[in-house]
Structure formats: C-alpha cells, structure tokens
Amino acid sequence: MIEITSQRSRMDVDEQSMIETVTNKGLREYAASQVIARYARVRSRAVDLGAGSGAMCDRLYSSGCEVLAVDRDPAVYQGKHRFVARDLNDAGFASALGIASFDLVVAVEVIEHVESPINFLRNVSQLLAPDGVAVITTPNVDSLPARLRFLFNGKIRMMDTGSDPTHISPIFSDLLRRQFLPRAGLKLSEHLLFPPNGYQLTRKPLAWPLALAAAVFPGDSVLGDNHIFVFKAAT
C-alpha cells in the first residue's frame, strides 16, 4: 500500500490517471440480470424512475411486469409503455404516480442527480406496495479509488468537474444506512457492488493492485464502482 500511495502522490491522483471518465458499461445489464430479475415477476407492477430512453422498461416488461416509465423529459423516452413526465425533485412525486402501487421500484443511476436524496427515498418508500422492493444504484464514493482520490486532491470520484455535471448528490453508504433510510421509512434488504470484485473505471495498471490493497481496508464498499441497493419498507 505504501508503494501505491506514493505513486499516486507523484501523479497527483487526477481524473486522467485514476479513472476513465466513461459510463460504467455493463452496470444496467448486471443489475437487471443479477438483481432485478429476481424480483420482477409476472403481473408485478413496476415503475422505472428516471427511465431515460426506456431500455430498462423493456427488460421489466419482458419479465412479465406491468411497467410505468417516469422521467422529467418526455422527449428522451422512446419506449412503448405507459409514460408519466414527473420531476423527481418534487416533494411529493409519489402521489402523482400512486401511493403503495408498485411491487418493484427501479432507479438506476438516478439518486445522485436529485437535489434531496432523502426526499427521493421517502417517495420511493411511499410507492412501494406491501412486500414491494426498490432496486437503486448509484456511484460508489466509498470505494478505495474514491478514498484515495479524495485523500490526495479533495475531489469526489465521479462527482467532480470531469464527471457528469448533473451528479450533485454523492451517496455515502454509512450515512445512507444510519440517517437517510430511517428518515425515509426504508430498510436495507440487500447490498451488491458492480463490478463485484474490482474496478472497471480504474485504469488497468492500477485496478489489480488497488483491488488487492482493498482487502486490508474496513467496510463493505471498498470494492466496486457502483452500489446496488435493494430496499424494503421499514416495518
């Protein structure tokens, strides 16, 4: 670890040397096949928050779900399923979609774009039908590359000027569990990471040494570029 950190110090741990500023390819496919598919059942009512073009809606539909697509910009949506234009920053957007109406709520790489993550999660909780689940992904700002980046230049990985400018709300795992979820009325049911055993956005010469070094760091989020959280309504 000493060798790694001294190397990073000399390179100033900037975005160009630490990570690729590209979309994390495979995240949606991994979340859909490894997580969402286990909860998407025939006739389940599913809502995709931040649906974008509608690719995830198609996956949900192919699993037998009745699908509602939600996004702020209707011009982006290209799917064939029911669509509702809604700003997910609105304090009570769940009321417009249907309180306790959905067996499955999906939000892939959305929560980091909203102004109030707690408000967003509270609305997610309100959308859930009894025994419903929510699958939410977000950049992993707790990972070892993220910790090193912040240590050496004080910038949050995937949240700085070289990243998507609409990334405004980093989600720290510990704070999410201790503060956000109780206030939102949710509980954590499952937590996965993508990729599960390393880093896809870190340049290859550094990815393996960092993955090995991660073994000595505390916490369950030092690996992976993205969190995949499964939530249920708190009882």
- Please report whether residue 146 resides in a domain: no
- Is pTM beyond 0.75 here? yes
Average pLDDT, the chain: 89
- Please report whether residue 209 resides in a domain: no
pLDDT of 197 reads: 87
- What is the average per-residue pLDDT within 122-146? 97
The yes-or-no verdict on residue 125 having pLDDT over 90 is yes
- Please report whether residue 116 resides in a domain: yes
The yes-or-no verdict on residue 129 having pLDDT over 50 is yes
Beta-carbon contacts of residue 134 (< 8 Å; ≥ 6 apart): 104, 105, 106, 107, 124, 125, 127, 128, 186, 229, 230, 231, 232
Q: Are the beta carbons of 137 and 107 closer than 8 angstroms?
A: yes
CATH number for the domain spanning 80: value is 3.40.50.150
- Please report whether residue 10 resides in a domain: no
Give the total number of structural domains in the chain: 1
Question: 56 is in which domain, residue-wise?
Answer: 24-139+164-197+220-233
Q: 17-44 pLDDT, tens per residue?
A: 333 334 477 999 999 999 999 999 999 9
pLDDT of 219 reads: 85
- Please report whether residue 119 resides in a domain: yes
C-beta atoms surrounding 102 within 10 Å: 26
- Please report whether residue 227 resides in a domain: yes
Q: 54-73 pLDDT, tens per residue?
A: 999 999 999 999 999 999 99
* HEC secondary structure over the chain: CHHHHHHHHHHCCCHHHHECCCCCCCHHHHHHHHHHHHHCCCCCEEEEECCCCCHHHHHHHHCCCEEEEEECCCCCCCCCCEEEECCCCCCCHHHHHCCCCEEEEEEECCHHHCCCHHHHHHHHHHHEEEEEEEEEEEECCCCHHHHHHHHHHCCCCCCCCCCCCCCCCCCCHHHHHHHHHHHHCEEEEEEEEECCCCCCCECHHHHHHHHHHHHHCCCCCCCCCEEEEEEEECC
C-alpha 151/C-alpha 126 separation (Å) is: 38
- Please report whether residue 15 resides in a domain: no
The yes-or-no verdict on residue 3 having pLDDT over 80 is no
- Please report whether residue 31 resides in a domain: yes
Phi and psi at residue 67, to the nearest 5°:
-115, 135
